[in-house]
């Protein structure tokens, strides 16, 4: 079989080893060299170009794709076992975390296999641990994505605080934005813990300012990614119509990767609306040179303008 292998950055060091193993099994193997931003980011263009019969996507759990690929996609999870006790002891020593009797525990797919061990460790240290029901894009209870903090939301109503276990800031920030209770991130790779209060307040303050400014905006560029897991054309079309109904001008801009450099010469737009990965408007907005709203924020803007 002719296959294209796709890896996130942290697993590309394993690519050659895996490719050689699959070749020994009789497959013709190609490697995607493009950046990979998550389970939603399928290397479809590369697979079509080399006439691959299957894309094997490593490092993420299956994701409900919004656009048909025409090529089979197989997800291969790649669990990462880490020593969690050191960083969790730091969490337990935090005075504010010590006050939390009921903990909503969330993590990424890389650490889902250890979530039971982590739960038992916390329970031995006097905590009641709640593992929330996964959201629409995640596969496992307790698993969150940057675009799907459903497991955190599920636990939030019964917990005193949320504990995110894993690397990076995007996932715990997404949980903090979505939840009423405080969110602590425990990073086993950096060995530190941090409350997400500051990040949450920064986002909410910026969001409020964006909405206020966008009320007077005239021209909106709605960004649509054709990545199979991010494709939101119908939502973009609905938003365009709603913005036009309240007197705004809007156009839909379509691309594979939403890159600020490719948008620099679209001088007409006052605001961009991101319908792809929410990270663009949360982590990368400063790179665009113009304000960037996420789709939900733009829909709220349209509601405000209709009042």
Residue 288: pLDDT band with limits 50, 70, 90: confident
Q: By C-alpha distance, which of 1, 63, 17, 71 is closest to 36? A: 63
CATH fold match for the domains 85-195 and 204-306: yes
Distance CA 35, CA 123 (A): 39
Average pLDDT (111-129) is: 98
* Contact assessment for residue 189 and residue 169, using Cβ atoms and an 8 Å cutoff: no
Task: Kindly list the distances between the CA atom of residue 18 and the CA atoms of 1, 8, 10, 29, 36, in Å, as whole numbers in the listed order.
Answer: 15, 14, 14, 10, 17
Q: What is the pLDDT of residues 227-281, one digit of tens each?
A: 999 999 999 999 999 999 999 999 999 998 888 898 989 999 999 999 999 888 8
Ranges of beta strands (E only) in the chain are 2-6, 28-31, 54-58, 72-76, 102-107, 128-130, 161-165, 183-187, 192-195, 219-225, 249-255, 271-274, 292-294
What does the domain layout of the chain look like in residue ranges? 2-76, 85-195, 204-306
| In CATH, 2-76 is 3.30.565.10 | no
* Contact assessment for residue 55 and residue 72, using Cβ atoms and an 8 Å cutoff: yes
Tokens read off for 202:
């920064």
Q: What is the pLDDT of residues 138-196, one digit of tens each?
A: 999 999 999 999 999 999 999 999 999 999 999 999 999 999 999 999 999 999 999 99
| In CATH, 204-306 is 3.30.2350.10 | no
What pLDDT shows up at residue 295? 92
User: Largest Cα–Cα distance in the chain?
Assistant: 64
Q: What is the pLDDT of residues 48-61, one digit of tens each?
A: 999 999 999 999 99
> Cβ of 176: how many Cβ atoms within 10 Å?
27
Q: Which CATH architecture has domain 85-195?
A: 3-Layer(aba) Sandwich (3.40)
Q: Quick check: 66 pLDDT over 90?
A: no
User: From its phi and psi, is residue 59 left (phi > 0), alpha (psi between -120 and 50) or beta?
Assistant: left
């Amino acid at each position: 079989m002719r296959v294209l292998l796709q890896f996130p950055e942290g697993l590309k060091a394993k690519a050659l080893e895996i490719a050689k193993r699959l070749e020994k099994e009789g497959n013709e193997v190609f490697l995607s060299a493009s950046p990979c931003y998550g389970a939603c980011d399928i290397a479809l263009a590369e697979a079509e170009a080399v006439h691959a019969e299957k894309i094997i996507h490593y490092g993420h759990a299956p994701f409900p794709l919004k656009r048909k690929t025409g090529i089979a996609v197989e997800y291969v999870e790649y669990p990462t076992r880490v020593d969690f006790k050191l960083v969790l002891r730091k969490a337990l020593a935090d005075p504010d975390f010590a006050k939390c009797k009921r903990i909503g525990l969330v993590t990424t797919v890389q650490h889902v296999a250890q979530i039971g061990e982590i739960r038992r460790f916390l329970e031995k240290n006097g905590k009641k641990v709640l593992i929330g029901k996964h959201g629409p894009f995640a596969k496992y209870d307790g698993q969150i994505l940057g675009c799907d903090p459903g497991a955190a939301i599920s636990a939030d109503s019964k917990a005193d605080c949320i504990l995110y276990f894993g690397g990076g800031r995007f996932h715990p920030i997404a949980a903090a934005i979505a939840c009423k209770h405080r969110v602590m991130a425990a990073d086993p790779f950096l060995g530190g813990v941090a409350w997400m209060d500051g990040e949450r307040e920064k986002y909410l303050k910026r969001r409020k300012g964006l909405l206020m400014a966008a009320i007077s905006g005239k021209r909106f560029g709605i960004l649509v990614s054709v990545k199979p897991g991010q494709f939101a054309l119908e939502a973009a079309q609905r938003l365009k119509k709603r913005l036009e109904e309240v007197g705004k001008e809007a156009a839909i801009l379509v691309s594979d990767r939403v890159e600020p450099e490719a948008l620099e010469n679209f001088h007409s737009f006052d605001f961009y609306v991101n319908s792809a990965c929410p990270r663009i408007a949360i982590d990368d907005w400063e790179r665009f040179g113009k304000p960037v709203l996420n789709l939900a924020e733009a829909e709220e803007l349209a509601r405000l303008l209709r009042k």
